[in-house]
Each structure stands twice: as C-alpha cells, then as structure tokens.
C-alpha cells in the first residue's frame, strides 16, 4: 500500500501514461520524472493504451484459480513438507512458487514449524501441559520480593540543580526498598516502600 503523495499511485500512473501518450514524452524521460524504471513506465503506458484507465494494482494470482491455490499444488506443498521436511523457501524454489504462497498453504493446513517436529520421525513433539498450582486458602503461601532503588531528593540531584545546590540535598540521598507481596491463592498484590 502506497501513501497518498507517492509518485506511482493510480493517479500518478495515469499522469505518467498521459505524458507519454498524449504529450509525447519519451519513456525514459517520463520514468525519470516519476522516479521509476523505464520498464515500469512502459507497463503503465501499455495498460493505458489497452484501455485500462483505472491503473489499479492487479492480483498476482493465476486467473484459472482466482481465490485459492489449486488443490494439486497444495497437496504437493504438504507432501514435500511432510516427507522431506523442507522449509517454505526450499519448497517454493522446488515448485517454482512464491514463498508467501507456500507459507499461506502451510498456515492454512496448520502445519507445525520445523523446529517443533521430531527430526527422526517428522511428527510434532508434544509439549507438556503447563502445571499450574494454587493454594487452597488465601495466605497459605505469599511470594515476597524486594527491589532496591536509589532515592532521588526532592527537586532533583546535582545534575538538574547544579553542583552547589545538589550538595545541599545530599542528606536525603540513599536507598529505598520496595517490598512486593503476592498471595498465591487470590493473586492479590501489595507493595510498600520500607527501610
């Protein structure tokens, strides 16, 4: 998707084609003006001469199957993934397809990533279900954590106030300790600054 002020929006493409066809500019000069290659300029001029005044982008899908990859191709992709355990780049190169097409098919069929497969068998490795625990009564288990923080004096330190004024605030410096407590049953959290 291009932004509205780009040179080759549909409006800019139409202007490029009109410059070449109606004003008589050369392809190279028009391409230089619109900051594109002469081949790109020729493409839009040819489309203009064919009667397409909308200048919209066209889908890159084959016309025989406009909405999906053909079933036979999908089967070949899945077969190569399962039998040879190839990644999308290698499958795309082997079948002369776009990598994005192969990735879309693998995603559609929910094929696991190669890292999640057993190398010997090719079967998905099962992950153990996470073991979640919770104590039955509130207060049975409380997790406590302490964080040491440098205390900043009121009004700032010497970097903000300067050396002379910053030295007056030194008596208030030191550390503050932030204590956190989390109940294991209710997951209730409590924090307090203590010495």
Greater pLDDT, 134 or 1:
134
What percent of the residues of the chain are helix, what percent strand, and what percent coil, each to the nearest 5?
A: 40, 15, 45
How much of the chain exceeds pLDDT 90, in percent? 39
Sign (positive/negative) of CA torsion 15, 16, 22, 23? positive
pTM: 0.37
Burial class from Cβ neighbours inside 10 Å (0-12, 13-18, 19+) for residue 73 reads middle
CB contact burial 154-190 (16+ within 10 A = b; e otherwise): eeebeeeeeeeebeebeeeeeeeeeeeeebbeeeeee
- Asked if residue 1 has pLDDT above 60, the reply is no
Q: State the average pLDDT over residues 54-61.
A: 74
Please state at what angle helix 99-108 crosses helix 88-95, rounded to 10 degrees: 120
- Asked if residue 5 has pLDDT above 80, the reply is no
CA distance 95 to 22: 43
- Asked if residue 111 has pLDDT above 80, the reply is yes
For the chain, give the mean pLDDT: 83
For residues 105 and 69, is the Cβ–Cβ distance under 8 A?
yes
Nearest alpha-carbon partner for 144 in 177, 117, 168, 176: 177
């Amino acid at each position: 998707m291009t932004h509205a002020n780009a040179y080759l929006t549909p409006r800019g493409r139409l202007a490029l084609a009109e410059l070449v066809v109606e004003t008589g500019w050369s392809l190279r000069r028009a391409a230089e003006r619109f900051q594109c290659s002469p081949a790109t300029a020729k493409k839009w001029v040819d489309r203009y001469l064919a009667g397409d005044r909308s200048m919209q982008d066209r889908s890159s899908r084959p016309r025989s199957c406009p909405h999906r990859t053909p079933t036979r191709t999908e089967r070949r992709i899945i077969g190569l993934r399962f039998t040879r355990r190839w990644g999308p780049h290698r499958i795309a190169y082997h079948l002369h397809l776009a990598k994005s097409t192969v990735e879309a098919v693998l995603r559609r069929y929910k094929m696991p990533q190669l890292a999640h497969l057993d190398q010997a068998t090719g079967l998905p490795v099962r992950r153990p279900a996470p073991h979640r625990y919770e104590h039955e009564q509130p207060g049975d288990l409380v997790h406590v954590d302490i964080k040491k923080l440098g205390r900043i004096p009121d009004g700032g330190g010497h970097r903000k106030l300067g050396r002379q004024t910053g030295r007056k605030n030194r008596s208030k410096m030191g550390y503050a300790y932030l204590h956190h407590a989390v109940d294991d049953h209710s997951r209730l959290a409590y924090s307090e600054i203590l010495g």
